[in-house]
Amino acid sequence: MSLDFGFIYTAFLGLFSALPNTLIITVVSVLAGLVIGIITALVRIYKVPVLSQISHGYVTFIRGTPMLMHLLLIYFSLPLFIDAGAKHFGWSFHSKDVPYMVFALISFSITSGAYMSEVVRSGIQSVNRGQIEAAYAVGMTTWQVLRRIVFPQAFVVSLPNLTNSIIGMLHGSTLAFTVSVTEIQAQAEILASSNWKYLEVYIAAALIFWGLTVLIERISGLVEKKINVFNGGRAS
């Protein structure tokens, strides 16, 4: 087997230029997903009439279809809407002015939102009903109950799931290459095809992702330890 170990190192350095894009995609989609997730989860928990059915449909659809489909659907259909809008309202910008990165960010946020909604929902539902009643009994408003009682406890319970979702989005960011965003996967393809050293490049890419994943897991482990100090050492 002819494996050029020197080139793995070269590729490793070459791939770092694409790391920011990967991280931007991950961070933005996780944060936006968290916001979408909290809203859809609350809508479903409080059974808001029409909205809860819509969120249920949204979560079912997103979780039942591959992330690649969401990306391709957004990438091909959003320009149609933008151009139709531009024609109708006489906007000055067209779909070609939108950077590819924006499509990737929108689509991944939508994907992440559905998964986050389940994370948030299972977290919130793990909070004891009696505590919520107690909080209301001492005169807290719903917002105060959520912020002071429900969210802190829900966070502790959902941390492992949250970590899984973050890692899932990190790995999912590799799909952005299909809409020409130069993240690590796309950079790997560029490096590989210009040097004809495919295996070496993908080994380097795998090492970067592996490192990032282990790092996220470590951080989450530390946070969990820290939180559980206040929890009398219990797991949740």
Minimum distance between the CB of residue 31 and other proteins, rounded to whole angstroms? 20
Residue in this structure with the two tokens 């690649």, named with its chain if needed: 68
Distance of CA 204 to the CA centre of its chain: 23
Rule CB under 8 A: say whether 3 interacts with other proteins: yes
Rule CB under 8 A: say whether 11 interacts with other proteins: no
Residue 107 or 109 with smaller CB distance to other proteins: 107
Residue 32 or 121 with smaller CB distance to other proteins: 121
Report d(CA 169, CA 191) in Å as an integer: 23
| Among 31, 134, 214, 219, interactor with other proteins by CB under 8 A | 214
Q: φ, ψ for residue 235 (rounded to 5)?
A: -70, -35
# residues contacting other proteins (CB under 8 A): 58
Report d(CA 36, CA 109) in Å as an integer: 8
Rule CB under 8 A: say whether 142 interacts with other proteins: no
Rule CB under 8 A: say whether 213 interacts with other proteins: yes
Rule CB under 8 A: say whether 219 interacts with other proteins: no
Report d(CA 3, CA 71) in Å as an integer: 35
Residue 32 or 70 with smaller CB distance to other proteins: 70
Rule CB under 8 A: say whether 235 interacts with other proteins: yes
Report d(CA 14, CA 6) in Å as an integer: 13
Six token digits for residue 169: 């989005």
Report d(CA 119, CA 154) in Å as an integer: 9
Rule CB under 8 A: say whether 137 interacts with other proteins: no
| Among 127, 135, 166, 179, interactor with other proteins by CB under 8 A | 127
Rule CB under 8 A: say whether 144 interacts with other proteins: no
Residue 213 vs residues 97, 107, 159, 175, 230: alpha-carbon distances, Å: 34, 22, 15, 17, 27
Applying CB under 8 A, the span of 24-32, 123-131, 135-143, 225-233 interacting with other proteins comes to 123-131
Residue 109 or 209 with smaller CB distance to other proteins: 209
Nearest Cα to Cα of residue 176 among 101, 111, 116, 99? 101
Report d(CA 203, CA 208) in Å as an integer: 9
Q: What residues make contact with other proteins under the rule CB under 8 A?
A: 1-3, 45, 60-61, 63-69, 72-73, 76-77, 79-80, 95, 118-119, 122, 124-130, 132, 150, 157-158, 160-161, 164, 167, 170-175, 185, 188, 198-199, 202-203, 205-206, 209-210, 213-214, 235-236
